[in-house]
Structure 1
Amino acid sequence: MSSLFENQAPRPLADRLRPQLLDDVVGQDHLLKKDAPLGRMLASGRLSSLILWGPPGTGKTTIARLIADGTAMHFEPLSAVFSGVADLRKVFAAAQKRRADGQGTVLFIDEIHRFNRAQQDGFLPYVEDGTVTLVGATTENPSFELNPALLSRCQVLVLNRLDDAALERLLARAEEAEGRPLPIDADARAALRAMADGDGRYLLNMADEILSLPERGGPLDSAALADVVQKRMPLYDKAQEGHYNLISALHKSLRGSDTDAALYWLSRMLAGGEDPRFIARRLVRFASEDIGMADPGALPQAIAAWEAYERLGSPEGELALVQCVIYLGTAPKSNAAYVAGKAALATAKKTGSLMPPKHILNAPTKMMKSMGYGAGYRYDHDADEGFSGQDYFPEGMARHQFYTPKDRGFEREVAKRIAYWAKLRTEKGD
């Protein structure tokens, strides 16, 4: 039961400004317009089960509540952090009773990814028979965090982080609600929006803090603002999707020789608290996978950067990673070594346990000599051009060309050598 004095208790600005209509929700027009998914559902009066996926502070809970109001369904909120099987059973029982009385139930589960697989499976019969219309909210990729069976029964809607225009609309609403402007200058206002990093709730909490400051001689500038409010830490979970998204962005920016973008993604990872050793390992991998013999110096550079970081630590050692990213980003690119390795491995698996040809086997015993081990071997250093042209593949196996150098960087020279040896091999008849 609500307390007699509940309405007199202080409420955060973000709570007081929570939209009362879907038209008041900012930054999610791609979902809420009349011709958008949620707009069409509400117009038809048929709401299907949904997963709302997006960053914090983008309106997931608000949208869930408002779409329930728009369909005259009962809204039942639960948090996966604080709820268990017993809570769910109570909700399902109440929903079944409501359904018998002709009213549907929107079951909103915040942080739905926190429920384990067995708990998620428990939703299935109630979602399947329409006892509840499930609306789950998550900041994590549903493909990784939700059961396929549950996911197949829900439509996934992606909420965007709030852009600068949407954040400015929230600040204007805050000023209108308070009846006075924020005591900050234009540069500080822009800095405030940047600090929010797309999170509307965080922005309004900062605005609430600024509006509660004692009056002073003039508006806050950017430097004074930084002393008053704390910048929101970048969204980055080292164990979840952000971790893989950003390392993928770094890798692909390097592959595309966009050094400046690669430096940006490196900085995003470091600012988010990523272990620099993880980044160093991936840079070593990149040097072999995407540069290889086009610039044989890339791998030593990547290993040297890793070793430099190990010796210096943070933050000094991070400059070695910056230098390495610049080197790799500006180096000629070739995946020929990577392709050659995969092709050779596939052929090795297919051909099984073929023996090497006897002429390249050592013969340390008389029996092995009598069996022809080492017979006919030609020592390459004694041959003309230092190349005997013998076949080193297993007997009866055709030659394969796994490695095809690209016409880039040092591999141009390697290609010339391979072509020269192929010519000699043909001339020598092996």
Structure 2
Amino acid sequence: MTSLFESAGLSDGAPLPLAERLRPQTLDDVIGQDHLLGPEGPIGRMLAQDRLSSCILWGPPGVGKTTIARLLAGRAGLEFVALSAVFSGVGDLRKVFDAAKARRETGQGTLLFVDEIHRFNKAQQDGFLPFVEAGTVTLVGATTENPSFELNAALLSRCQVFVLNRLDADALDGLLARAEKELGRALPLTQDARAQLVDFADGDGRYLLTLADEVFAQKAELDAASLSKLLQKRAPVYDKSGEAHYNLISALHKSMRGSDPDAALYWLARMIAGGEDPRYIARRVIRFASEDIGAADPVALMISMEAARSYERLGSPEGELAIAQAVLHCASAPKSNAVYTAWKAALRLAKETGSVAPPKNILNAPTKMMKSLGYGAGYEYDHDSDDGFSGADYWPDEMDRVTLYAPKDAGRERAIAERMARWADLRAAKRGN
């Protein structure tokens, strides 16, 4: 009978991909995750105590989630059963749980590994609970998405969450060294090309070894330029609806607030390179101009608005330059959240005070009846007053004055603060205070 290997044109002895040949055989072989697997790491401590609880492995692609789960099963003496949430449904889960219950009756435990566990809906996630609680399975879920967003609270309360690191340059270079040892020869790369190969992988060990397979097939040594022609740099990991979206916009916002134009420009570029909608970024920059700069530099809001309009007119990539200009202006502008703080305080005060009426002296009196009721009586026209300031009371009769806006000693707000202080003195003098 023809085997699957033969029907595919392969034999049982066909060479395996590097990523499979170098798959770690023990937890000590796993690279880049010592903070979890080392003697002082949480998983390392659990294993040292001969126990293993259900957990969620959260990390980017190609950092060892599946491998760690398989090795944990072997270390704990559990049957390893793997499912992918992308291809599995309720029927598949029911079969797994039935088999695990039967296995348990013979004294054999089960480690159920669920890849992309965040793809299961809430009802499916709830289906794990009784089997995890009863110890029928030890659940190890893998996800690239933030579990606090994607997994329901009931499941999270029964699992520990372990965060796997993106593989750094040293870890990736270590993988290349293992590949060279496995094949018994050096990568045909110059030193610069080797560093470029590591950069191409963008923290993904599996992808790095896939690229290395291509390089090992080359007969002549490659420099950086030749490598760029041969291979494709991995696209940055970015999900416009996931955690990366919120992390990077937060980084952009806080870099502008922290007056670091270079960092702000970098995070802007990361979002654009990741495929973020520039119009979303432009809206956030407009918000920033009001929230974090405000009256300290009113021009920031104008530039941010014009950047958004410029992008609408020009599109990508030309319009992105206008957004970059706005980001640099906002990052280098004087900062003040006084307008933002004053507005929030005013909203709170408005809710607390309800429907109190304005004082009658500042009400219009278009009819005789309204005049007879005192509307507009005693109103002082500020332009006719000394200093163009009447010092009148504009607050409801039932309320004392409340200070909401406190301009800061930054940018143009410095002059506003001085002007408001002078008005306060004039107001006190006119009232004899």
TM-score, length basis structure 2: 0.96
Letter in 2 for 1:326: L
Which 4+ runs in 1 deviate beyond 4 A?
2-6
Write out aligned runs for 1:40-59 (5 A): 40-59=45-64
Q: Which residue of 1 aligns with 2:336?
A: 334
The match for 2:90 among 85, 93, 108 is: 85
Letter in 2 for 1:307: R
Q: Which residue of 1 aligns with 2:128?
A: 123
Percent pairwise identity: 68
Q: What's the offset of the Cα at 1:319? A: 1.2
| Match status 1:150 vs 2:155 | yes
CA distance in 1, matches of 2:14, 2:364: 89
| Match status 1:378 vs 2:380 | yes
CA distance in 2, matches of 1:15, 1:371: 90
Q: What's the offset of the Cα at 1:374? A: 1.1
CA distance in 2, matches of 1:406, 1:101: 73
Identify which range, 249-258 or 361-370, moves more after superposition: 361-370
Letter in 2 for 1:270: I
Q: What's the offset of the Cα at 1:425? A: 0.6
Q: What's the offset of the Cα at 1:7? A: 2.9
Q: Which residue of 2 aligns with 1:237?
A: 239
Letter in 1 for 2:27: L
Letter in 1 for 2:181: E
The match for 1:135 among 133, 136, 140 is: 140
SS at match of 2:402: coil
CA distance in 2, matches of 1:195, 1:392: 64
Q: Which residue of 1 aligns with 2:101?
A: 96
Letter in 1 for 2:165: N
Q: Which residue of 2 aligns with 1:427?
A: 429
Write out aligned runs for 1:312-327 (5 A): 312-327=314-329
SS at match of 1:7: coil
CA distance in 1, matches of 2:12, 2:192: 36
Indicate the RMSD between aligned Cα atoms, in angstroms.
1.2
Identify which range, 3-12 or 73-82, moves more after superposition: 3-12
CA distance in 1, matches of 2:68, 2:290: 47
| Match status 1:65 vs 2:67 | no
The match for 2:201 among 179, 186, 196 is: 196
Identify which range, 4-13 or 111-120, moves more after superposition: 4-13
Q: Which residue of 2 aligns with 1:409?
A: 411
The match for 1:260 among 262, 269, 280 is: 262
Q: What's the offset of the Cα at 1:9? A: 4.3
| Match status 1:352 vs 2:354 | yes
| Match status 1:185 vs 2:190 | yes
CA distance in 2, matches of 1:243, 1:157: 21
SS at match of 2:128: helix
Q: Which residue of 2 aligns with 1:26?
A: 31
* Deviation readout 1:165-206 (Å, 9 max, x if unpaired): 110111111112222211111000000101111000010000
CA distance in 2, matches of 1:4, 1:374: 95
Letter in 2 for 1:61: T
CA distance in 2, matches of 1:52, 1:23: 17
* Deviation readout 1:278-302 (Å, 9 max, x if unpaired): 1111111111100111111111111
CA distance in 2, matches of 1:3, 1:422: 88
CA distance in 2, matches of 1:75, 1:394: 73
Q: Which residue of 2 aligns with 1:269?
A: 271
CA distance in 2, matches of 1:114, 1:229: 31
CA distance in 1, matches of 2:386, 2:283: 43
Q: What's the offset of the Cα at 1:212? A: 2.2
The 8 Å contact of residues 356 and 398 in structure 2, kept in 1 or not, is answered as: no
Q: What's the offset of the Cα at 1:10? A: 4.6
Identify which range, 308-317 or 406-415, moves more after superposition: 308-317
CA distance in 2, matches of 1:3, 1:318: 51
Q: Which residue of 1 aligns with 2:113?
A: 108
CA distance in 2, matches of 1:169, 1:379: 79
Q: What's the offset of the Cα at 1:3? A: 5.3
The 8 Å contact of residues 117 and 143 in structure 2, kept in 1 or not, is answered as: yes
TM-score, length basis structure 1: 0.97
Q: What's the offset of the Cα at 1:400? A: 0.5
Q: What's the offset of the Cα at 1:337? A: 0.5
Q: What's the offset of the Cα at 1:146? A: 0.2
Identify which range, 303-312 or 418-427, moves more after superposition: 303-312
SS at match of 1:321: helix
Point out where structure 1 has 5 or more consecutive residues left out of the alignment. none
The match for 2:309 among 276, 290, 307 is: 307
Q: What's the offset of the Cα at 1:376? A: 1.1
CA distance in 2, matches of 1:64, 1:56: 14
* Deviation readout 1:3-61 (Å, 9 max, x if unpaired): 58663345322112111111110000001112211111112211000000000000000
Q: Which residue of 1 aligns with 2:210?
A: 205
Letter in 2 for 1:190: A
SS at match of 2:12: helix
Q: Which residue of 1 aligns with 2:22?
A: 17
CA distance in 2, matches of 1:371, 1:90: 82
| Pairs aligned (count) | 426
Identify which range, 124-133 or 11-20, moves more after superposition: 11-20
CA distance in 1, matches of 2:197, 2:331: 33
The match for 2:165 among 147, 160, 164 is: 160
Letter in 2 for 1:198: G
Write out aligned runs for 1:388-403 (5 A): 388-403=390-405
CA distance in 1, matches of 2:332, 2:39: 48
Q: Which residue of 1 aligns with 2:367?
A: 365
The 8 Å contact of residues 295 and 413 in structure 2, kept in 1 or not, is answered as: yes
